[in-house]
């Protein structure tokens, strides 16, 4: 029987802990640092997700058989490399491979080199030059901080004034710190977004169930970008034909390009896509499970996630294919009032027990903590209320029945998660 360590504290990590704990091969799951919901099914360890040395020492001391890294920051700092040097098994890409997420410039240059479809772009480390280019190109236009910015460093600008404001926020006001030393300015693609995730063992890619995320804070895809306000799976737009095209034009060119760069890509590759006239273009890469897409995807996984991750590490993925439930799943993110701007923590959450008793519902905790016997808010995105249904409409209905019984002072959530799928 094996011990597993999951690194992170969000809804994605709660879903990973939940699914891994169902494996007959897993005896115990730890999570560092975890949250109030994770603490109900795993042992939480008070180590920060980016404290690579302490995490490695913990894994050695406890004889952890598999470490699963949720967030991008420790991956970009080389946690998988550090673990492998000590003979520890860790699921995720190396530091070099994780550059596809940690540097927008690296990703765009890589895509250009290896012919992966993406928007035209230019890179700037001078504010004045970036503004001059935006003035020349006009709007709409997309401004991106080069480094990691927790999903908030991308600005889709409808006007020149919005673009200048984005440049100022990134490069002059330093809202994203060093991540804004360099900006990528790119063509604004028009179409429908979709999330595409696949697991690699360095030789093959195995696609996960399709999904679609809702990035904007308000209904109708209005307002600023967030880390994600909800997701659903499957996504009707990602049919068999599009899946085959994404594998051929995006996923395998990444794998082959990485090999030419002397890098072996193992772990999850997430391609944020824009589907333009039926053709996929890459908006961004993540080198880990997406959040909140992981919640509905893992709710539909009918096979052993632990075996799948070990096959990725061992190079035997072609022997272990995932099995999916013929059902749909929807995740509605409940967020703190004020998110993605300033918000207050410590609000007491009610209704969790009632929601937990509902059939086909799983409430994944994202930003929660325990305080004097109460579960309280401890982040911008607080809960991912996830439900399964026979179809998307049924899953939507169930998810919103559950959100209706949960509340805290200032709670906000979108009322239109999954609406795009219904239109299909």
In 3D space, the residue among 198, 218, 220 whose CA is nearest the CA of residue 208 turns out to be 198
Same domain, 156 and 202: no
CATH number at residue 213: 3.30.470.20
- Which domain CATH number covers 374? 3.90.600.10
Final residue of a domain: which of 297, 319, 341? 319
Query: Based on the structure, what is the number of domains in the chain?
Result: 4
| Residues 298 and 202 grouped into a single domain | yes
- CA 193 centroid distance within chain: 14
Q: Are residues 212 and 313 in the same domain?
A: yes
Q: The domain spanning residue 155 has which CATH number?
A: 3.30.1490.20
The answer to whether residues 10 and 81 belong to one domain is yes
Same domain, yes or no, for 17 and 58?
yes
Are the C-beta atoms of residues 253 and 110 closer than 8 Å to each other?
A: no
Which of 103, 417, 418, 125 has the alpha carbon at shortest distance from 284?
A: 103
In a domain, 294, yes or no: yes
Whether 104 is in a domain gets the answer no
- Same domain for 270 and 244, yes or no, is yes
Residues 86 and 163 in one domain: no
Residue after which a domain boundary falls, among 259, 289, 319: 319
Same structural domain, 205 and 297: yes
Asked if the structure places residue 97 within a domain, the reply is: no
Secondary structure element (H or E) that encloses residue 155, with its range: strand 154-157
Do 332 and 283 fall within a single domain?
no
CB atoms within 10 A of CB 262: 7
Tell me whether residue 255 is in a domain: yes
Pairing of strands 66-69, 2-8: parallel
Domain of residue 248: give its range.
192-319
Domain of 11: which CATH number? 3.40.50.20
418 lies in some domain: yes
In a domain, 248, yes or no: yes
Do 205 and 199 contact (CB within 8 A), yes or no?
yes
The residues that bridge with 154 in the sheet, in sequence order, are 144
Boundary (domain end) residue, out of 140, 156, 187 = 187
> Which residues are 157's β-sheet partners?
141
Is residue 110 situated within a structural domain?
no
Q: Do the domain assignments include residue 99? A: no
Per-residue pLDDT of the chain (424 residues; tens, 9 = 90+): 899 999 999 999 999 999 999 999 999 999 999 999 999 999 999 999 999 999 999 999 999 999 999 999 999 999 999 999 999 999 999 999 999 999 999 999 999 999 999 999 999 999 999 999 999 898 999 999 988 877 678 899 999 999 999 999 999 999 899 888 999 999 999 998 888 999 999 999 999 999 999 989 999 999 988 889 999 999 998 999 999 999 999 999 999 999 999 999 999 999 999 999 889 999 999 999 999 999 999 999 999 999 999 999 999 999 999 999 999 999 999 999 999 999 999 999 999 999 999 999 999 999 999 999 999 999 999 999 999 999 999 999 999 999 999 999 999 999 999 998 887 6
């Amino acid at each position: 029987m094996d011990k597993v360590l999951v690194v992170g504290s969000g809804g994605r990590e709660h879903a990973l802990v939940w699914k891994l704990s169902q494996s007959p091969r897993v005896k115990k799951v730890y999570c560092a640092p975890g949250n109030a919901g994770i603490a109900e099914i795993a042992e939480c360890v008070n180590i920060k997700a980016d404290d690579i040395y302490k995490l490695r020492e913990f894994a050695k001391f406890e004889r952890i058989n598999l470490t699963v890294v949720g967030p991008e920051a420790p991956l970009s700092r080389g946690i998988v490399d550090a673990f492998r040097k000590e003979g520890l098994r860790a699921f995720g890409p190396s530091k070099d491979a994780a550059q596809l997420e940690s540097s927008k410039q690296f990703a765009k240059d890589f895509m250009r080199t290896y012919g992966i479809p993406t928007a035209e772009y230019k890179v700037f480390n001078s504010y004045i030059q970036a503004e001059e280019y935006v003035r020349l190109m006009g709007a709409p236009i997309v401004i991106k901080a080069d480094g990691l910015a927790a999903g908030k460093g991308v600005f889709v600008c409808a006007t020149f004034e919005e673009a200048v404001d984005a440049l100022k926020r990134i490069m002059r006001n330093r809202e994203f710190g060093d991540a804004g030393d360099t900006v990528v300015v790119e063509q604004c693609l028009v179409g429908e977004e979709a999330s595409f995730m696949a697991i690699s063992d360095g030789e093959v890619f195995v696609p996960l169930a399709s999904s679609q995320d809702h990035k904007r804070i308000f209904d109708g895809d209005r307002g600023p970008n967030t880390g994600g306000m909800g997701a659903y799976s499957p996504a009707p737009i990602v049919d068999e034909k599009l899946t085959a095209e994404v594998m051929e034009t995006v996923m395998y060119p990444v794998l082959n390009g990485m090999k030419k760069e002397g890098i072996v890509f193992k772990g999850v590759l997430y391609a944020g896509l824009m589907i333009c006239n039926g053709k996929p273009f890459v908006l961004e890469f993540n080198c880990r499970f997406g959040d909140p897409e992981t919640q509905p995807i893992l709710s539909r996984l009918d096979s052993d996630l632990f075996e799948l991750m070990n096959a990725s590490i061992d190079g035997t993925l072609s022997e272990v294919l995932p099995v999916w439930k013929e059902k749909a799943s929807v995740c509605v993110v409940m967020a703190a009032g004020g998110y993605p701007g300033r918000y207050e923590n410590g609000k007491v959450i009610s209704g969790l027990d009632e929601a937990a008793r509902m059939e086909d519902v799983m409430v994944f905790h994202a930003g929660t903590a325990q305080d004097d016997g109460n579960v309280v808010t401890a982040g911008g995105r607080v809960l991912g209320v996830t439900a399964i249904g026979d179809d998307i409409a049924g899953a939507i209905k169930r998810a919103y029945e559950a959100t209706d019984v949960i509340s805290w002072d200032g709670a906000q959530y979108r009322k239109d998660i999954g609406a795009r799928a219904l239109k299909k």
